[in-house]
A = this chain, B = another copy of it.
């Protein structure tokens, strides 16, 4: 079975000058790794003719698949398209479908199209036009001297859509790819090393052809099982068996699998139980609401939220008692209790969640330093609270608080559905 070699070329001065972090190459690497295509080189060059042409020539020698991002804007500093035409020795001509698509893109948005944008529908005659449904710069696919080339915009969501819709489905058609099966088990509320201790002997007993990877992120750890073989069905069953083996030890921390997120998983729990949700977010400042409402169909279970950024609003809007605020302070177990219960009433929801803390960098005291956060989950006949002691970084504190709030929701829903 052949080894497919890929090279990723990122084009743009802003990447060389460190003004933009190249997250595209990282994402593409992960996607290719999942289907067994080996990235052998990543190259970043600036907006200069000779450097770009040199990168093309070098990549052609090394790789079977060459994925190019950036340099496709309508402006003068964008050179990728003309240089691809030059490199492959073909002229740039009008692609009527591409012109129609870019025109339609602007019409749909009620905006007038400029001559510059019309030109985005003019492409190298030797490329296959790949429609970009979320932007104005088309994708371009080339097949030359036994190599395959794809040129994509540098805007991450445009590149990702072209990869998902066109490139990734196409690769199995043109290459004989190895059989790899991945399953990701998503955990929350336990650190990487504790998790590793819990499952070490299971991990050590895994068969040779099944690999485990720990992929930690904020407050979460993803366990990725990768099985290599020849029979997809067999691999799928083997991995399922391994998960059944380990699940009893980590069940309380597992919220989902693969593409599931904490917000989608808790959303599904709410749907299944027919319960509705409301949020009172102080230190998380609306971020939990954003996560919940980022899920399509969340209006089925999400009633709404209040961000009471000053004590007076915790009192007047949410009905937290003046005495509680006075005696215990805004960042206290009692306050988040009353916030969660209050927001439940306002929105007539089954569940109320709340957060109050000192996100930083200012506002800390000796007794309640920056990073002190209280969260609560209130429902019919119960209120659960947790205290978090986080770090100094404001944005991290907000994000970790949101994960903890959603995990507390998950725990409450499971406990109260038993």
| A interface, CB within 8 angstroms of B | 13-23, 25-33, 38-47, 51, 58, 73-77, 108-111, 114, 116-117, 133-134, 136, 155, 157, 182, 184, 191-194, 196-197, 203, 211-217, 224, 226, 279, 281, 285-290, 292-294, 296-299, 302-310, 313, 317, 346-347, 359-362, 389-396, 398
Contacts and interface: CB of A to CB of B under 8 A. Distances in A.
Contacts of A136: 193
A303 B293 contact: no
Nearest to A360: B296
Given A16-B40, A18-B27, A111 B213 contact: no
A289 B306 CA distance: 10
Given A191-B111, A286-B307, A294-B394, A16 B44 contact: no
10 contacts: A40-B45, A40-B46, A114-B197, A157-B393, A281-B286, A289-B289, A293-B359, A303-B313, A304-B306, A304-B317
B289 A75 contact: no
A192 B120 CA distance: 13
Given A134-B396, A193-B117, A306-B306, A17 B33 contact: yes
A27 B19 CA distance: 10
B313 A309 contact: no
The main secondary structure of chain A at its interface with chain B is mixed
Nearest to A317: B346
A289 B288 CA distance: 11
Nearest to A293: B285
Contact of A310 (B299, B308, B360): B299
B391 A290 contact: no
B310 A307 contact: no
A127 B23 CA distance: 34
Contact of A290 (B18, B157, B287): B287
Nearest to A136: B193
A29 B16 contact: yes
A16 B42 contact: yes
Contacts of A27: 18
Contact of A307 (B111, B116, B194, B289): B289
A299 B288 contact: no
In the A-B complex, the 4 residue pairs with the smallest Cβ-Cβ separation, listed nearest first, are A286-B289, A285-B293, A18-B29, A18-B30
Nearest to A17: B33
Contacts of A310: 299, 303-304
